[in-house]
Structure formats: C-alpha cells, structure tokens
C-alpha cells in the first residue's frame, strides 16, 4: 500500500500500528515512493528461511535412495 506524505502525517498512529502487525506500507511524495515502513522484527528479503521450513512435518524412509531400484534396473535392461 502506498500513502502520500500528507495522509501519513495525519494518520501516523494508525499506520504505525498497522505496520507493527506486519502490514508494511510505502510513503510517497508527489507520487514518488520515498520510504518503506515495516515492523522491526519483519525479515528482510535476503533473510527468508527456506531450508528446514517443513522440519518435523515429513518423514523420509531409510531406503529412500533404493526405492524402486528393481523396476528401474529392468527398464534399463540391467539384470541382477
């Protein structure tokens, strides 16, 4: 959401509360974006955690790397 600087001045308290809840906004002057207001604890773009985001939610079988081994060998004509 983009707010012009005059509106931001008149509604600063409400906008700060909104940003603190995670809804960041941009303040513009004469239609040109100037600053972005975000919560202090909001992660920056480069800090987003991707690895481990599903930890504890899935299980990988011990034989995962050998699953379907026989069928794959047959497809490629490999005999045991």
Q: Which residues, 6+ apart, have CB-to-CB distance to 73 below 8 Å?
A: 79, 80
Question: In order of start, what are the domains of the chain with their CATH numbers?
Answer: 1-39 (3.40.1620.10)
Query: Is the Cβ–Cβ distance between 28 and 5 less than 8 Å?
Result: yes
pLDDT at 43 (0 to 100): 63
pLDDT at 48 (0 to 100): 60
Distance, CA of 72 to CA of 80 (rounded, Å): 12
pTM over 0.75, yes/no: no
pLDDT in tens, 28-71: 999 999 999 988 876 666 556 667 777 888 888 888 898 888 88
């Amino acid at each position: 959401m983009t707010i012009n600087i005059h509106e931001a001045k008149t509604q600063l308290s409400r906008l700060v509360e909104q940003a603190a809840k995670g809804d960041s906004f941009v303040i513009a002057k004469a239609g040109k974006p100037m600053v972005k207001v975000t919560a202090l604890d909001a992660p920056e773009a480069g800090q987003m955690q991707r690895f481990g985001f599903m930890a504890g939610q899935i299980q990988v079988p011990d034989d995962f790397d050998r699953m379907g081994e026989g069928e794959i060998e047959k497809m490629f004509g490999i005999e045991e």
